[in-house]
Amino acid sequence: MAKIGFIGTGIMGKPMAQNLQNAGHTLFFSEHFEKAPAELIGDHGIGLANPREVAQEAEFIIVMVPDTPQVDDVLFRQDGVAEGVGAGKVVIDMSSISPTATKTFAEKIKATGAEYLDAPVSGGEVGAKAATLSIMVGGSEAAFERTLPLFQAMGKNITRVGGNGDGQTAKVANQIIVALNIQAVAEALLFAARNGADPAKVREALMGGFAGSKILEVHGERMIKGTFDPGFRISLHQKDLNLALAGARELGLNLPNTANAQQVFSTCAAIGGSNWDHSALIKGLEHMANFSIRKE
């Protein structure tokens, strides 16, 4: 069994860490920011003072934090991961961050003699708990093969996309698709309800046709019931779409529908919804329409 450092035990990270422990691996947690959840500490979980100590103890070091600046801090702070790694170790960033920054981080870590994988995930809290995450990996074939048993303890659809940065590029593409599908479902249900139809019955009818999708199934139900406790917060999806739009500008691309979805998320944030689940995008549309599909 492997010795794994795991930094970032939030909504996604905590169940991912638990699944690694359930597979028999020993995990080391950094308590430089806050103590690891008590249920992760025990026979297969050890709390240490900072990321450097975690990296010194572990063969694999997983980072699962919200955004690019946090990854930068964990890796390269004075007592960061980079000070504790070297030959034989693999740093795995499973956060969703900038592909451009990822390439820089990878070069700096590889200069220590360690390997680096960017391996962002999709599937939300449900997938993290069920160990059914999709994992998109960038890095060397050798490092990927060595790390694959860890990925298999956390996910089902595991793909090495290419070199460093390519995993993050795939994740940004994923977030574009998810956002636009959420917006499509939200607009369809709003249209149906405003026309006097029962949105729950409309969703049921659409599930059996070409419009059927996981978004319609899971998030469509959330929209109808108004259950917007976060599996994936709007603020985090905004961060991912910012990465998409910034990358598009660098490449000279126009992503008009992505930009529009971001504007609707911004409406949600403006009415207090930054921490709602991203399925609550419908509330931004409802706000603009002055109409709710739910009898609230």
pLDDT in tens, 112-157: 999 999 999 998 888 999 999 999 999 999 999 999 999 999 999 9
Residue written as tokens 């971001």?
Answer: 262
Look over the chain and give the mean of its residue pLDDT values, rounded to a whole number: 96
Model pLDDT for residues 55-74, shown as the tens digit of each residue: 999 999 999 999 999 999 99
Strand partners, 117: 92
171 is catalytic: yes
In contact, 105 and 18? CB cutoff 8 Å: no
Percentage of the chain lying above the pLDDT 90 cut = 95
Q: How far apart are CA 230 and CA 222, in angstroms?
A: 11
pTM of the model: 0.91
> Exposed (0-12), middle (13-18) or buried (19+): which is 183, by Cβ within 10 Å?
buried
Predicted confidence band at 8 (pLDDT cuts at 50, 70, 90)? very high
In contact, 17 and 27? CB cutoff 8 Å: yes
Query: How do the residues of the chain divide into helix, strand and coil, expressed in percent and rounded to 5?
Result: 55, 15, 30
Average pLDDT of the segment spanning 18-23: 98
Strand partners, 46: 28
Average pLDDT of the segment spanning 30-34: 91
Contacts of 12 (CB under 8 A, 6+ apart): 64, 121, 124, 125, 128
Predicted confidence band at 296 (pLDDT cuts at 50, 70, 90)? low
Instruction: Give the tokens for residue 266.
Output: 């911004």
How high is the pLDDT of residue 239? 95
Strand partners, 62: 6, 92
| Active-site residue (options: 89, 171, 214, 239) | 171
Residue written as tokens 């905590």?
Answer: 14
H or E element: which one contains 199?
Answer: helix 199-207
Predicted confidence band at 34 (pLDDT cuts at 50, 70, 90)? confident
H or E element: which one contains 169?
Answer: helix 166-194
How high is the pLDDT of residue 231? 83
Model pLDDT for residues 213-253, shown as the tens digit of each residue: 999 999 999 999 999 998 889 999 999 999 999 999 999 99
- Strand, helix or coil for residue 122: strand
| CA 201, chain centre distance (Å) | 31
Strand 115-118, strand 90-93: pairing: parallel
Average pLDDT of the segment spanning 86-92: 97
How high is the pLDDT of residue 124? 86
Q: Please state the φ and ψ torsions of residue 161, each to the nearest 5 degrees.
A: -80, -35
Q: How far apart are CA 285 and CA 264, in angstroms?
A: 7
Residue written as tokens 């450092």?
Answer: 5
Sequence letter at residue 162: G
Q: How far apart are CA 73 and CA 77, in angstroms?
A: 5
Average pLDDT of the segment spanning 27-35: 93
| 34-43, 60-69, 200-209: range with lowest mean pLDDT | 34-43
Q: How far apart are CA 249 and CA 58, in angstroms?
A: 39
Average pLDDT of the segment spanning 170-191: 98
